Amino acid sequence: MWAGQTCGCVTGALMAIGYKFGHSEDGDVKTKENMLEKKYAFEKAFKEKYGSLLCKEILGYDLSIPEDMEKIMEEGLLSTLCPKVACDTCEILEQILEEK
């Protein structure tokens, strides 16, 4: 989204969790609670790995600020750190999706 807010990897993972575990019927509290448990488990594991869910905190720069974006590009973070975050996110997500 290039807004410097929630990491795109986190956003995608939460969408996948919602797709697999989400509820669609009014009053289906049990399904909703299960989905929220999965969401919180993912967020906890991700924060343990990266300290935050926010792109600017993970990168150390705010990509919505031109000066910070220059530093991100100079340091090659989009081609080094971001792919690592994506791979780690997939590993965390896979564990969450496989849980019953």
Give the C-alpha separation, 71 to 38, whole Å: 35
pTM of the model: 0.90
Instruction: Sketch the domain layout of the chain as residue ranges.
Output: 8-98
Query: Where do we find the tokens 């590993």?
Result: 91
Q: Say which DSSP state 6 is in.
A: B
**pLDDT of 3:** 67
Residue 2 predicted with pLDDT over 70: no
Length reported for the chain: 100
Read off φ and ψ for residue 54, nearest 5 degrees: -90, 130
- Per-residue model confidence as pLDDT tens digits over 52-71: 999 999 999 999 999 999 99
The C-alpha angle with vertex 44 and arms to 38 and 100, in degrees rounded to 5, equals: 25
What is the distance of C-alpha 80 from the center of its chain? 17
Does the pLDDT of residue 1 top 70, yes or no? no
